[in-house]
Structure formats: structure tokens, C-alpha cells
Structure 1
């Protein structure tokens, strides 16, 4: 009996360190993976959160650079299609595989040497931070980035205005229903032929848009090189009440190819 009692006591006492060791091991591993053990080491949690945030930011920047870029609308030049504060989702793959901008497309482009002759100089660090914020749709775009509608492509003759006050492309009047209510298609007369590889761009709010018309007398004549196109505006992603797809317009459906209907 005494021998059995001693064995039982020895067995119970040997269980205690093992249980303590298991609990201690569990506590250490829980501390590494965000469980109760992190209470004594909050820096682990902060480091993990910071790393996750950095990875998310890098992913979003890569997505914005190569695939889909948010673009904050800073002015009313494209009303009523786009309003101040809208955040576009710009499809950067739209023209990457042999497809080219078409009449009626709403596009975002770099206006350097067409809309902006001498970009303003800025602090490199400030420019980098602003560029990153703009790429995520958190800040206004760079002063050289614009959003307008394609009205003429290479070879087109674009004239304003015909006897009915409408814009003509290759001799065919265009019914521009997207133009801001009460605006004339243009109060500035023009008659131009778009050089190959360039685009003639106009805002939908014609009386409140500085576009190709305003740069006719400058180098480049207001024409935007196709290689300066950043992407096509396909969606309004924010605010939620404005979420929508930018449907293609039918305004240019009957416009003939260059040279098949232009009159001189």
C-alpha cells in the first residue's frame, strides 16, 4: 500500500511540470500569432499590422500603375458625365493590345507638350508623395493629367460649327447629347484636320473646359499624341451613389472614315 501511494504521488508530481511546460509553450506560440501572449509584446502586433499595410499599399500601387487607376475629378469640365469629386476607375489595359482610342471615348491622358507646354517644377519628395496619393485616388491628379472626350482621331476633319450649330466630323453633323445642358457645342469656331497618331479632345461642359480648342495656336495645335493616353475611363467607382459604367456613346456611329465624307 505504501509503495502504491508513493507511485501515485510521484506520478502526480511528474504531471505538474509537464502541464506547466505545455502551457508555457502554448503561451509563447500564442504571443507570436496574435493571441493572449501579445499583451506583453504589443510591438509584434504593430509590426505585423504595419507590414500588412505596406503590402496592401504596394499591391494597390502596382494595380494602379499597370491595370486600374483611380482618378479624382478635380473640375466640372466634363459635366454632366463626370462631377467634381467623382473617382473614376481608369482601364489602363484598354489600349495595350493593339486597340486605339475611338471617337466618343472618355480618356485620361498626359497633356505634356499639348495642353501643358512647361510643367511646373516641384520638390522631388513632395512630387513622389503626391504621385503615390494621386495613383490611389486620394489626391487630385498631377497638373499635366487631364480627362476629356475624344472628338476626332487621326485623319479626321473636325469643323465647328455647321448651320445647325453642331460639330461636324468628316462632313457629318454629330448629335452630342452628352454636352452640358444649355452649352453650345463650341463658341470658338475651328476647322482642323487631326494629324495621324493624335487626338482632338473636348470636354462635355464646353463653356467650362480648357481643351484642344484653347491650344490651337500653340506648338502641337492642341492635338494629343496617342502615346500620351493613360487609359480609358470605364467606371465611376465613388461615391457609392454615383457608381456606374460609362457606356459608349452612339453620337459618332454614322461618321464616315476620313476622306470618305469630308468636304473641303
Structure 2
């Protein structure tokens, strides 16, 4: 005798096959679109989280960090590893460093959305990029007998990154000063010292803290992160490390609540 076959189950299977065969192309396309939207939204959310907590691209708008950074370089800033002396950092304008009339390159809604999610570099006009010369408690001064900037008495050998052209390197600084960095702040300078309105140029101004010279010091809370990588143009692809000259800087002294500048009113 042959084996019995469940004819009811066989009919059900046949019905399912026929229903799959009759499934409309429109429903399949709608399902594809829905899945694609889920993937795109997930990718954007992930990109936004990476931008907020891991890394963020920025566009270099000026010459203040030449030759290290050139105008229109695309730089990735990492937010995981804390910065130290000698590192290049991006920070929010502490107040009065940027002209009030400066405007960012205008982007449409799509461009602004892609910028928000970290796909396009940040073009906002309230950020700057400089090199950290002094941290809280450091004494930064210009200059030693050889014209070098000193930190806690140690002269910095900066020729490796200072702007140079035609075999000539810019002076590390020109106006004599001594600055003691207050708690929770940093002292920064651009690599193109003749084209950088950095901490030196705000030593004669009153910042948000409300005392003379306070505008020279950037709050640590304003720091977005440390420059890690040039991603474009491709022929300028490179990573950054802390210059070795900062390795021998003595530890900082006690950080005062208020920074000091001498002589009072010194500038660039």
C-alpha cells in the first residue's frame, strides 16, 4: 500500500505558492522603499552620534595655521583622547575673537542637514583652530635670548611647524609678554604667527570672565576636539602628532583662578 497524503495540507501549500506568485510588484517596491528608508535613517543617526561623541569634520577657512593646514583643507577632529600641549585643537569662539560680520559659506537645507550629521565638514563661523601652547598653571613667555617662546622656562623649538616661505621662518613671537594660564583655560597660537589673531592678540582685552587680559585664555569647555587627520585634498592626507619639543616642558604650577598678563596690555 502506498503512503497516505494529507490532501488538505497539500492544498494549503499550493495556495501559499499561488499567493506569492500573485504578489504585486507595487507591494514589493513599497517594501524595498521602507527598508531603504530604515537603513538611511539608521545610518544618519549613527553618523550623528559619531559626530557628537567621536569625530567631526571641519573646513579650514584661513591661513592662520599654514603651512601645517592650508585653506580649504578638510580636517577630522577626534573627541575621544584628551588634548595636551602642542596639539592642534578646534574650539568655539570664547567671545570677540572672530569679526561679527564673518559669515559661513551658505548651504541649502540638504547641505545643512548633511553637515549636522557629519557627512559634510562644519562651515560654522564661530569656531577656530590653533595650537595649544600652554595649559592651566603654565607660564608662557616671549622670548628667550634666541627669540624662542618659553613654557615654564623651557624654550620651544618650533621650526618644525612654524610657517616658512623661501627658506625664511616666521618669528615665534615679536612682542614681549608673560602670561600665566588660569584654571580651566588654555593659551593658543597659530602656526603662521604673522597671520594669526590668537591668544597674543587678545591680551589687552577683557573677556567674559570680566578682568583685563582674560580674553587671551580659551575655556577648556569650548574645545571641540583635537585635529587628527586631513582627509582632503587627497594629496595632503596626513595625521597629526604632538611635536616632540613639548615633551621636555616642566609641569605647570598651581593654576590661578584669574590669569595674569605682563606687561599689562601686551598684544601681538
The two structures have a TM-score, normalised by structure 1, of 0.73
Aligned to 2:17, which of 8, 15, 22? Answer: 22
Q: Is the aligned partner of 1:198 residue 2:185?
A: yes
Q: Is the aligned partner of 1:106 residue 2:93?
A: no
Q: How many angstroms does 1:63 deviate by? A: 0.9
Cα contact 1:73–1:140 (8 A) shared by 2: no
Distance 1:240 1:107 in 2: 21
Instruction: Give the gaps of 5 or more residues in structure 1.
Output: 1-14, 32-36, 96-100
Distance 1:131 1:173 in 2: 46
- Counterpart of 1:6? none
Distance 2:139 2:50 in 1: 37
Aligned to 2:65, which of 78, 81, 84? Answer: 78
Instruction: Give the gaps of 5 or more residues in structure 2.
Output: 1-9, 208-213, 255-261, 263-268
Higher share in helix: 1
- Counterpart of 1:155? 137
Distance 2:102 2:118 in 1: 22
Which one has the largest radius of gyration? 1
Distance 2:203 2:180 in 1: 12
Aligned to 2:219, which of 216, 219, 225? Answer: 225
Aligned length: 232
Q: How many angstroms does 1:120 deviate by? A: 8.3
The two structures have a TM-score, normalised by structure 2, of 0.72
Relative distance call for 1:27 and 1:127 in structure 2 (3 A) is closer
Distance 2:62 2:228 in 1: 18
Distance 1:238 1:138 in 2: 12
Distance 1:175 1:166 in 2: 7
RMSD, matched Cα = 3.5
Relative distance call for 1:19 and 1:147 in structure 2 (3 A) is same
